[in-house]
Amino acid sequence: MTLKPPVRATLNYSVDNGIPPDYYFYEPDPSVKLNPPGTDVKEVEIHDAWPQRHTIRLDKEGFELHEFDPSFKNFDDDAQVKQAFYQQVEAFVKAHTGAKRVEIFDHTIRKRLPADLKAQTEVQRPAVMLVHSDYTVKSGPQRVHDIVPQEADALLQGRVAFYNVWKPLYRRVEELPLAMCDASTHEPDDMLRMDLKYRERTGEIYVMRYSPKHRWMYFPHMEASHALLLKTYDSATDGRCRFMGHTAFEHPHTPADALKRESIEVRTMAFF
C-alpha cells in the first residue's frame, strides 16, 4: 500500500506557564486576569490513519475506527436520538471494549457555526478547535458520582473508562476533520489542567502543551457508516492509554465547495 504524505496543518496547543488555563461560561469581573487556552499555535504533520486502521488500539494510541450501522437518520429529534440511537451506541461500545455495562450521559451535534455562545445550544455546537481531552484524574471519577450517585462508590472500586463515539451524521466529512494524538507519544506532563468556570462551580478538562514527539493522525473522508471510539479517561494505571488528546482542524486542502461537516459525539462511561 502506498502511504500518502502527511498533511501539514495548524493546531491550537496551550502555553505551559505554571498556571492552569481557564475558560469562563459567564462574564468575569474585569479585575480577573484571564489565562485562555489554545494560544500556542503550532504547525504539525497529521498522518492518514487509514493504512493502520486495523492495528491502532484504544489501550495504546487511544482510539479506534469501526463500521457503524448508518440507518438512523432522525438526528433532529432529540428524543429519538436518546431512545434509538443511544441503543446503537451502547451496543457499539460494548462490542469493541468488552465492557459489561455502558452508561450514556449526553451527546453533542457539531456543525460549522459562528464561534460565539449565541450560536450554540445545549446540543448543537461548533467544532472544537482546541487540543484537549475531556476529563482529568479528578473530573473522571466525579462524573461517575454525578451520573450514578447511588452506585458510584461501588463502581469506582473496579475499572471505569470513558469513550466518546464520534461519527458523521448523514454524509462523509469533507471539512474540519478530527485529529487524534497517538497517546503513546505524549508524556503525562503534556496534559495541562484547564479550569472550566461556571458561576456555581468549577470543572476541569485537560488541554495539551506542545511537544515535537506528538504523532497526529486522522481518517480523511469518514462516512456515516464509520464511527470513532475516543478514550477520554481510564481509571486503570497499568500502562495503557488513560487520556487522548484530540481536536478538529482546518485541512489546508479542503475544496471551496466541500460539504459542511455535520457530526455527532456521544459520551459514554464503561464499567468492566
82 falls within a domain:
yes
Q: What is the pLDDT of residue 118?
A: 45
2 falls within a domain:
no
Q: What is the pLDDT of residue 2?
A: 57
Grid coordinates given for 159: 475499572
1 falls within a domain:
no
193 falls within a domain:
yes
233 falls within a domain:
yes
Residues 103-135 as b/e (b if ≥16 CB within 10 A, e otherwise) read bbeebbbbeeeeeeeeeeeeeebbbbebbbbbb
| Gap between the Cα atoms of 66 and 204, Å rounded | 30
Q: What is the pLDDT of residue 125?
A: 62
256 falls within a domain:
yes
Domain tally, the chain: 1
Indicate the pairing of strand 132-133 with strand 40-48: unpaired
16 falls within a domain:
yes
Q: Look up the domain containing 156 and give its range.
A: 7-271
| Gap between the Cα atoms of 178 and 126, Å rounded | 13
Write out the chain's pLDDT in tens, 272 residues.
456 789 999 999 999 999 999 888 888 888 888 889 999 999 999 999 999 999 999 999 999 999 999 999 999 999 999 999 999 999 999 999 999 999 999 999 987 655 544 444 444 567 789 999 999 999 999 999 999 999 999 999 999 999 999 999 999 999 999 999 999 999 999 999 999 988 888 889 999 999 999 999 999 999 999 999 999 999 999 999 999 999 999 999 999 999 999 999 999 999 99
Q: What is the pLDDT of residue 128?
A: 86
